[in-house]
Amino acid sequence: MTTLLAILFLAANLHVIPAPSKIEPASPEQIAATNITVETKAGMTGYTLDTTPHGIRILAGNAESEFYARQTLAQLNDDGRLPCVHVEDAPRYEWRGFMLDESRHFFGKAVVKQLLDVMAELKLNRFHWHLTDEPGWRIEIKKYPKLTEIGAVGNYSNRNAPRAFYTQDDIREIVAYAAARHIVIIPEIDMPGHATAATRAYPGLSGGGTGRFVGFTFHPVKEETYRFIEDVLTEVAALFPGPYIHIGGDEVSFGTQTWKTDPQIQQFIAAHKLKDTVGLEQHFIRRAVGIVNKLGKTAVGWDEIVDAGVPAQHCVVMWWRHDKPQVLANALTRGYTVVLTPRRPCYLDFVQHDSHKIGRRWKGFNDLDGTYDFPAPTQTAPKVLGLEACLWTERIADKHRLDFMTFPRLAAIAEDAWTNPDAKNLDSFRTRLRDFLRRLDKLGIYYFDPFDPSRTPEPSAPDKADALANG
């Protein structure tokens, strides 16, 4: 390789995140991006891209692959100076995701659309939208107007905050916006726990609970509960054309204290030989998955659903409990399709630098380098569908902090999910990251600067004590 070719190769590599499987110089000449020829090859899972003195040629398997080729092309183009390169590329994983929690704090259409734009550049293709939980219900359901009249009031840091939610027209607009960028949206309607916003609006659906967890669960044995769930999910399924609906299924035990003393619940457990409240929780999950399947969708749930006895072909499991590797092993052994979302390193609400004071820690934190070094060989298997970064927003109340906690770690997750392990290199990533940060500057996106942490100070956040006082 001549020195000039090596320089061109380096220049090309500086710009592209996630890194292509193969990128090499094709000519010492520089060209402008003028004419583009696109060809389709059936059965091709990725794309090839050739930039030559005579023009640009894209060979892709379908419209989605062509879209990704154009994202690579846009990153290679440095103010009209396009190096002559040959690129061969295909995704490592089918599911390359980002989850945004808007129950704790609501951000609105403009923020979501900008996130979708950056996701598209990073070749991420699954937007998991956490729309319901304890603080607020954020999606309009026509049959149950109190969900947004009452359930959408408040947020994590202020229970009396004005109601905030997406109308069904808003949802359709955002779904179409995402589809144009080849991003599938997975809505999450959390159940049977994390249901407080819904039971606040419709108290007859409450499964009890004590202390701060009053109303945390849906009532697990009333048929009224399951009619409500089917009605809600029917409207949700009509709004989201993608193949998935997420039903949560996590941390149910926080709100099952009164299940143990409620006569109706205890009679149901005995009559159906469910053994205990955990068995009832699993019964609920099976029924909820059945409703999702009846609507023509695949259910997605957090990793607690592995023990519910749902047939593996009917659901996707999200492994989130990083401290329970046996849960991942168990899910894979039982034949479940799994998305890797472990708190470490995939939760972006965790602290990302040791100097930062706000955010979660779990015997450490999720720094950029650790996020990039994922998944471990022990976490890979044929039934692993992909990866997902999750942003929970208890301590994130505005866009400034949302951006800071998301970037640049989302770029690392994107390369984890897209790039063949043999083509990953941390030093190269950190070099290319400088160009990505400059693009974020142009978009007005605030971020943590790993090269100069003092340049981008940690934004403030609602204090936990304040949140409880306001609640």
- Max Cα–Cα distance, the chain, nearest Å: 81
Contact (Cβ atoms closer than 8 angstroms) between residue 341 and residue 390: yes
Whether the CB-CB separation of 319 and 338 falls below 8 Å is answered with yes
Q: Are 334 and 381 in contact (CB under 8 A)?
A: no
Catalytic residue, candidates 66, 101, 121, 133: 133
Is 251 annotated in the active site? Answer: yes
The tokens describing 467, both together, are: 């949140």
Q: Is 194 a catalytic residue?
A: yes
Tokens 């959408």 sit on residue: 152
**Which residue among 194, 219, 322, 356 is the active-site one?**
194
For the CA atoms of 12, 13, 18, 24, the dihedral, rounded to the nearest 10 degrees, stands at 80
Q: Which of 263, 267, 265 is nearest to 217 (CA)?
A: 265
Contacts 24+ apart (CB under 8 A), 341-344: 341/97, 341/99, 341/387, 341/388, 341/389, 341/390, 342/379, 344/370
Q: What is the DSSP string of 156-192?
A: SS-TTSPP--B-HHHHHHHHHHHHTTT-EEEEEEEES
Which pair of structure tokens corresponds to residue 43?
Answer: 């059965």
| DSSP H/E element including 36 | strand 36-40
| Catalytic residue status for 105 | no
Catalytic residue, chosen from 117, 251, 373, 435, is: 251
Residue 74 corresponds to which amino acid? Answer: A
CB neighbour list of residue 452: distance below 8 Å, 6 or more residues apart:
none
Supply φ then ψ for residue 195, to 5 degrees: -110, 15
| Residues 404/446, Cβ–Cβ less than 8 Å | yes
> Residues with catalytic annotation?
133, 194, 251
